[in-house]
Amino acid sequence: MSLHLYDTSTRDTREFVPVEAGRASIYLCGATVQAPPHIGHIRSGVNFDVLRRWMTRSGYDVTFCRNVTDIDDKIIRVAAEYGVPWFVIAERNQRAFTWAYDTLGCLPPTVEPRATGHVPEMVTLMERLIERGHAYAAGGDVYFSVQSWADEYGKLSNQKLDNMRAAGDTDDESCKRDPRDFALWKGEKPGEPTWPTPFGPGRPGWHLECSAMATKYLGSTFDIHGGGLDLIFPHHENEIAQSQAAGDGFARYWMHNGLVRIGAEKMAKSLGNSLLIPDVTKKVRPVELRYYLAAPHYRSSIDYSEASLLEAAAAYQRIEGFVTRAAEVIHDVDADAPLPQAFADALDDDLGTPQALAVVHEVVREGNVALSRGDKEAVARLLAETQNMLDVLGLDPRSPQWRTAGSDLKPVVDALVAVALEQRKAARERKDYAAADAIRDQLTAAGITVEDTPQGARWELAR
């Protein structure tokens, strides 16, 4: 089976055929950095990281572009509230996003352009649109004329132009020919940052930024454009309009991840229901939070609750437990072992992570049985399959990313714990269970969990 992806623009699942054979280009709408990220923001990073890893594993040379919107109405507003320059807010929160992506194991993008570094490309795009009759300058602003693109505008979001409300993206819309026209460029205002352009000083509109950056790094026509469901309209609709009206083919596939909700509400800072990454990673480890965000299908919504978060953590720990125990028996894992066909088929079917993880858990169950039988050959095969699947999902507990704190000291701790375990074993053999329990309690107090197995006692650092 070849890779098939659900395309929002056609509303069906299509076979992935890249612009250039053997290569894949992905643009993901990244952060608007007016505040630190919550788990709803980082979900798209995790989902598209899995897509990228799977495409790489499938043999594609992937170029992954994830932008940063570092100038925006919201950033300016937050800066004014705190009484600091706009770039302080942008830089502070971009660092918070980078930390969050890294903490949850997202591979660094191939390129991560910032909007403020691409004003010349935006000016060129506006000039092309004006020349073609799809944009106009008025009162220091530049607007896209939706009537000039009436036959195409609204197709992504499945809306008709006659039913659309005013864009509502400027304080004074009297300069617009049509209230539904959206701003490409916003003229100079007191206290706001500006860049010089042929249309006068000002700053870019949100939609213009992404079109300019996507085509600069991925070409006039590229493979996949991604983002959250809440970006379909107006952001992605407007990106398509301005890019194609300028003569670019733009994205061939549109992928949108579902939202994270609390109750019936979308997780959003404006609603006061956000769960910031540092807070959530105090409840579960980062790898467990990644599992929680990756396990549902990317197009489904996630209804957050602490109970579901802890259930996901426990599910991951079952996988981790097998990998840890098996690695104590099998020291050399075959990194080239083939993936189970059912796992590959699941990911080829619109990135079906729930079905893929079901395969992981089934292999883990078989692996635990093989461990209990002492079947090292089966354990070796099943461990290799498990680790290779987890590597695709960015969840391999033995990868450096998820190495447990203190694991570099494992040989030293091994030696010290071995002495305590021998003393405990001797106490149990002479039926001095009080002494055996006391030794175990001392190890627990030191942060070491002891598990009695058919092969003898084993230990690990407590979570």
Residue-by-residue DSSP string for 230-246? GGIIIIIHHHHHHHHHT
DSSP state of 454: T
Measured from the Cβ of residue 331, the count of other Cβ atoms closer than 10 Å reads 7
CB 257 within 8 A of CB 44: yes
CA 334 to chain centre: 28
Residue range 222-232: average pLDDT? 97
- CA distances, 333 to each of 90, 372, 386, 390 (Å): 44, 19, 10, 13
Cα 31 from Cα 375, distance rounded (Å)? 49
CB 5 within 8 A of CB 350: yes
Q: Please say whether the dihedral angle defined by the alpha carbons of residues 44, 47, 53 and 58, taken in this order, is positive or negative.
A: negative
H/E segment holding residue 397? none
Cα 266 from Cα 211, distance rounded (Å)? 26
Question: What letter represents residue 244's amino acid?
Answer: Q
Predicted confidence (pLDDT) per residue in 351-403, tens digit:
999 999 999 999 999 999 999 999 999 999 999 999 999 999 999 999 998 97
Question: What letter represents residue 199's amino acid?
Answer: F
Question: What letter represents residue 266's amino acid?
Answer: K
Portion of the chain with pLDDT greater than 90, in percent: 79
Among 405, 435, 404, CA closest to 421:
435
State whether residue 222 is helix, strand or coil. Answer: strand
CATH number at 4-257: 3.40.50.620
All CATH 3.40.50.620 domain ranges of the chain, comma separated, are 4-257
Mean pLDDT of the chain: 91
Token pair 């079917």: residue: 349
Q: Would the pTM of this model clear 0.85, i.e. be above it?
A: yes
Does residue 430 surpass a pLDDT of 90? no
Name every residue whose Cβ is closer than 8 Å to that of residue 376 and which is 6 or more positions away in sequence: 329, 330
Confidence of residue 452 (pLDDT cuts 50, 70, 90): low
Q: What's the residue count for the chain?
A: 463
Which stretch, 27-41, 412-426, 431-445, has highest mean pLDDT? 27-41
Does residue 166 surpass a pLDDT of 70? yes
Confidence at residue 245, expressed as pLDDT on a 0 to 100 scale? 98
Q: Please say whether the dihedral angle defined by the alpha carbons of residues 11, 12, 15 and 16, taken in this order, is positive or negative.
A: positive
Q: Name beta bridge partners: 4.
A: 15, 349
Cα 182 from Cα 245, distance rounded (Å)? 14
Which stretch, 178-182, 188-192, 426-430, has highest mean pLDDT? 178-182
Cα 268 from Cα 35, distance rounded (Å)? 11
DSSP state of 267: P
Confidence of residue 431 (pLDDT cuts 50, 70, 90): confident
Cα 91 from Cα 348, distance rounded (Å)? 38
Residue range 10-18: average pLDDT? 98
Name every residue whose Cβ is closer than 8 Å to that of residue 422 and which is 6 or more positions away in sequence: none
Cα 106 from Cα 102, distance rounded (Å)? 6
H/E segment holding residue 11? none
Pairing of strands 221-228, 456-461: unpaired
Cα 371 from Cα 368, distance rounded (Å)? 5
Tokens of 215: 């085509």
